[in-house]
Structure 1
């Protein structure tokens, strides 16, 4: 079967990462704008809050599992191949959780004028952009086939884990603070 001609040439990893990142920035801006326009009834607010909490459990839970497996590799309790294979399916709940948090967050009527809410929104964008590069990093680690990766990939992985943890914990903390005040 012949391959059909593409309208655009295939993108390399860097261009694909940049294109996805640009798309995420546009979605992020659109969701922030929409959140400022929406007014919901109390019943829908309650449903959105439930979806928000479920999405947090799914997304952040998967992130914690990924980082835990990475820590096991650092401690010599798992091989790199085991970690890469075990973490591959966890990218789906991370992205599903992030999408659910964003969609439900729109309906929670965030106080966009609040400096803390603005920091939280930036952290959410940072989490998403970090997730794009983490996916690229995961593919690079898969290519290593279990061999010790170059130092730059290890540093990139450590930085990605750190950014992820700061982003998720920061957004979680601000969200909790905002519900109490």
Structure 2
């Protein structure tokens, strides 16, 4: 039996790598299509105001959910909560995380992004990184399920910490760049 198969409980199977890869490629293509579309959408002042409101609302939903998962993970790492609590929270908040991210992409269509601006390109790179990292974090969560009540291998801890760091860097970095871009 492979190491990955040993890490899983019998009833749990990993999402196939090909499916995660396909979703990652499709999501990246959607983000690229949104960028192209944004260059052809000319929102009037009232639509721009509504788009800004929804953009902030989706940021609150997505980033807030990510912060909740990471907070529970920190509590687990400090011995204040069981791993099961982190895993249950992560599963429960997957939908708002992805809805927040998707809503940010859609509402961003109307915000007149300057696709020639290096900070905006960095922000878009961070959005793609958060998206792909979210798929990786999903896989890590599935692997952690096998250790719900027992010790977690060091390698899995390190990979999970790396995923959390990429997530926090991406969400906060994109938020900061978006804020700075809105000031000009």
- Structure 2: how far apart are the matches of 1:86 and 1:94? 12
Question: Which of 125, 130, 133 does residue 130 from structure 1 map onto?
Answer: 133
TM-score (norm 2): 0.89
Q: Quick one: distance in 1 between partners of 2:24 and 2:149?
A: 28
Partner of residue 119 from structure 1, selected from 122, 136, 140: 122
Task: Give the Å deviation of 1:119.
Answer: 0.5
Specify the alignment match of 2:103 in structure 1: 100
Whether 2:142 is the aligned partner of 1:139: answer yes
Determine the C-alpha separation between the residues in 2 that align with 1:171 and 1:96.
Answer: 17
1:161 to 158, 161, 164: 164
Distance 1:132 1:86 in 2: 16
User: Does residue 152 of structure 2 align to residue 149 of structure 1?
Assistant: yes
Match of 1:27 in 2: 30
Aligned-residue Cα RMSD (Å) equals: 1.3
Unaligned runs of 5+ in 1: 1-10
1:174 Cα deviation after fit: 0.4
Task: Indicate whether 1:14 and 2:46 are aligned.
Answer: no
Question: Structure 2 matches for 1:40-51, cutoff 5 A?
Answer: 40-51=43-54
Moved over 3 A (4+): none
CA contact (8 A) 1:13 1:136 kept: no
The secondary structure found in structure 2 opposite 1:39 is coil
The C-alpha deviation readout for 1:108-152, integer Å capped at 9, x for no partner, is 111111111010011011111101111111111123232222222
User: What residue number does 1:4 align with?
Assistant: none
Deviation at 1:12, TM superposition (A): 5.6
Q: Structure 2 unaligned runs (5+)?
A: 1-13
Who is 1:172 aligned against?
175
Residue 107 of structure 1: SS of its match in structure 2? coil
Residues 66-95 of structure 1 show CA distances to partners (whole Å, capped at 9, x for unaligned) of 111010011000111121112211111110
1:57 alignment counterpart = 60
